[in-house]
C-alpha cells in the first residue's frame, strides 16, 4: 500500500470553507486559482484558511496538465 509520502506534492488549494457552497467538481475546482491557490510564502491564516477549511495537496504540474484537458475517466 502506498502512503502520502510516496507522492510528490508541491501545491495547496482551498477546496471548501465551512458554511460555503461546494462545487460540483470531482476533485479540485479549476476556477479561481489566483484566489484559492495558496502562495508558498504565506501562512495558512494569510491565505484565508480558517477552521474546517478543506484543502487539497497535489503536484502543481499534474494540475496544470489536467486543466488543459479536464476529462475524468472512471
Instruction: Please give the full DSSP string across 12-73, using - where no structure is assigned.
Output: EEEEE-TTSPPPS-SSS--S-HHHHBPPTTS-TTTTT--TT-EEEEE-HHHHHHHHHS----
Q: Which helix (H) or strand (E) holds 11?
A: strand 11-16
Strand partners, 12: 57
Per residue in 24-38, pLDDT tens? Answer: 656 678 888 998 999
| In-domain check, residue 73 | no
Q: What residue ranges of the chain have pLDDT lower than 70?
A: 2-4, 19-27, 74
Query: Domains in the chain: how many in total?
Result: 1
Grid cell digits, residue 17: 470553507
| In-domain check, residue 54 | yes
Supply the pLDDT for residue 61. 94
| In-domain check, residue 74 | no
Query: pTM to 2 decimals?
Result: 0.74
Domain range for 45 is 4-68
Amino acid at each position: 500500500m502506498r502512503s502520502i509520502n510516496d507522492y510528490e506534492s508541491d501545491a495547496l488549494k482551498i477546496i471548501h470553507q465551512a458554511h460555503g457552497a461546494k462545487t460540483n467538481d470531482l476533485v479540485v475546482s479549476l476556477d479561481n486559482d489566483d484566489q484559492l491557490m495558496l502562495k508558498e510564502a504565506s501562512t495558512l491564516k494569510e491565505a484565508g484558511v480558517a477552521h474546517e477549511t478543506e484543502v487539497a495537496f497535489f503536484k502543481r504540474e499534474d494540475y496544470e496538465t489536467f486543466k488543459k484537458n479536464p476529462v475524468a475517466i472512471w
